[in-house]
Amino acid sequence: MLEGKTCLVTGANSGLGRETALALARMKANVVMVCRDKGKGDAARREISKESGNESVDLLLCDLSSLAEVRTLAAEVRNRYGKLHVLVNNAGLFSFSGKTPDGFETTFAVDYLAPFLLTNLLLELLKASAPSRIVNVSSVAHFSGHIDFDAIRRGGGVTGWGAYSNSKLALVMFTYELARRLQGTGVTANCLHPGGVATNIWRIPAALTRPFLKSAKEGAQTSIYLASSPDVESASGKYFENEKEKKSSEESYDEKKALELWDETSKIVGLST
């Protein structure tokens, strides 16, 4: 189904992103890996190409904590590729402290602002390539989140778990609002919880967590499913777990709040509302 299709995966050098990129490459897609570190990205690209037998695996570099770099990435994608059929916003971060160069809380910037901006900047390309799909990797942590517009205007507000859960809720609400706006375009937008996965995002010793968590390969299955399966080719505005549609948090379905969130985020990242 994906042979010859162009698929972009952020955070693709390790964990869920690497497994997703590898699976899409095995389906003979033209895979575009987005990574922050050139050395790690190059190594992963070579491995994925070798393991999949697919030479059409590219690497683009971007630090997703920088809005300027996200804009540069989007421009490079538009200039280099005539089509984009799948966008997997996979890159994620859990940070207890820190601000980005733009002055935003780091987790909020990487987990929400970056996919919001990147997706919007690539929407016309996705529409021109329809049928196409947008897949946003959220988390069950969004059930603990809350949208606080005062905090958002201050650049994210809280840190740690609060920032992570709030960002993942914002990503779910963004997905739903995006799906409403994309009705009739041939572009779908869905989000997912990958499950508890043993990846580098948690910065916790693997020996303590790995016995209780999924492998990255297991955790990536729902992302791969949403990016490629004909079973969900018309599904949009849904939240998935274990390749099944699930109900997300009550707040995530607040359409009025989703509209306000879209407008506030557009102002923050410098997009027209």
Strand partners, 187: 132
* Catalytic hit among 112, 164, 176, 239: 164
Task: State the amino acid at position 28 in one-letter form.
Answer: K
Q: What spatial distance separates the first Cα and last Cα of the chain, rounded to whole Å?
A: 35
Give 129's contacts (C-beta < 8 A, 6+ positions apart). Answer: 6, 83, 84, 85
Other C-beta atoms closer than 10 Å to the C-beta of 206 total 12
The verdict on whether 112 is a catalytic residue reads no
Q: In what order do the strands lie in the sheet with 187-193?
A: 57-61, 30-35, 6-10, 86-89, 132-137, 187-193, 238-241, 244-246
What's the CA angle centered on 217, arms 216 and 219, to 5 degrees? 60
Which residue reads 């967590």 in tokens?
209
- Tell how strand 187-193 and strand 132-137 pair up: parallel
Is the C-alpha dihedral spanning 43, 46, 50, 51 positive or negative? positive
Rounded alpha-carbon distances, angstroms, from residue 69 to 78, 97, 189, 227, 266: 14, 21, 23, 25, 17
Active site residues: 164
